Amino acid sequence: MQTNFEPKDRRQFLQSSFAATAAATMGSYLPVTAAEASGSMTLGFSTYGSRGITTEAVIPILAKTGYDAIEITCTKGFDAAPENVSVERRKLIRQALIDTGLKLTSIMEHTTPQESQEVNDANLARIQKAAEFVSDITADKQVVIQTVLGGGSWENKKNLFVEQVGRWVEQTQGSSTIICIKPHRGGGVDNPEKALWIMDQLKHPMRLRMVYDYSHYIYTGLKLVPTIKQAVNKTAHIAVKDTVKLDDGRFHFQLPGIAGTINFATLIRQFYALGYRGDISCEVSGMVWSKPGYDPRAAIKICYENMSKAFGLARVPRG
């Protein structure tokens, strides 16, 4: 498979340039200490925002742009849903990851627990197929399978969430994946505290973690740094995008760095200082990619420019 991706040395040069600019302009940021400098984060892009481009085709595009990592969306109806990815395509995806050096950090699924046993069994089957897909396309360990848990009243559904999330963790034992639940604005689980409660009920299994996405917390009274400190020890994946509050009180998601409502340099710096060494993944909301004229290639470029700059301002190394 022929590829055309940006060499790592050029990527590292760009990162160094951002860091040098940051040092000259952002004196309020503390320097990275020798202890903190051990390890690095990755900057990734979720194929949730690359609809219209096949998974095997988008991998070299992301690598050429400069990304370090990728989240592959396996939700039903998407290009990489397990039922859409033949054995041959899995080989192509695996080879594309090898050729480019792009790291697979996460699989996005949307499997929401319901009162129906039939639905819950189907959800479990999807989680298991996602784990199988991971083993087919990469030798990387600790790949996240992330999912929201859906809407409804927290009080009415919290025990159902515990029961079904526990099944997902148990039934994927032996795989190299981590089950990762994502608090979501307007969902039954809408903040880190509720995700932590679920983990507590399940006695904190090693393979259960959460996604941190401040776009779902902003304007709810939850502040950036306190939620980072609350969630960091159980965070295995970070998604980034902007949120704006409209005049009618509704919220709208935008590409990360477009609206300037979230200080992503602070987010990166805080997580790094507290020991997080995972992925910062650019997520394009359906509110964006569903609009007429959406260009996934332009979004890939804009997200990279904005978030690589945030890394430079934070003075945090990328792997």
Residue 105 near residue 237, CB atoms below 8 Å: yes
| pLDDT band with cut points at 50, 70 and 90 for residue 319 | confident
Pick the closest to residue 311 from 64, 7, 68 (CA basis).
68
Residue 107 near residue 72, CB atoms below 8 Å: yes
Ordered by where they begin, the domains of the chain are: 34-314 (3.20.20.150)
Considering only residues 8 and 96, tell me which one the structure prediction assigns the higher pLDDT: 96
pTM listed for this prediction: 0.88
CA 109, chain centre distance (Å) = 11
Q: What is the pLDDT of residue 195?
A: 98
Distance, in Å, from the CA atom of 89 to the CA atom of 80, rounded to the nearest integer, reads 9
Pick the closest to residue 111 from 178, 164, 156 (CA basis).
164
**Ranges 25-29, 183-187, 241-245: which has the least confidence:** 25-29
Q: What is the pLDDT of residues 88-140, one digit of tens each?
A: 999 999 999 999 999 999 999 999 999 999 999 999 999 999 999 999 999 99
pLDDT at position 34 over 50? no
pLDDT at position 15 over 70? no
Q: What is the pLDDT of residue 38?
A: 57
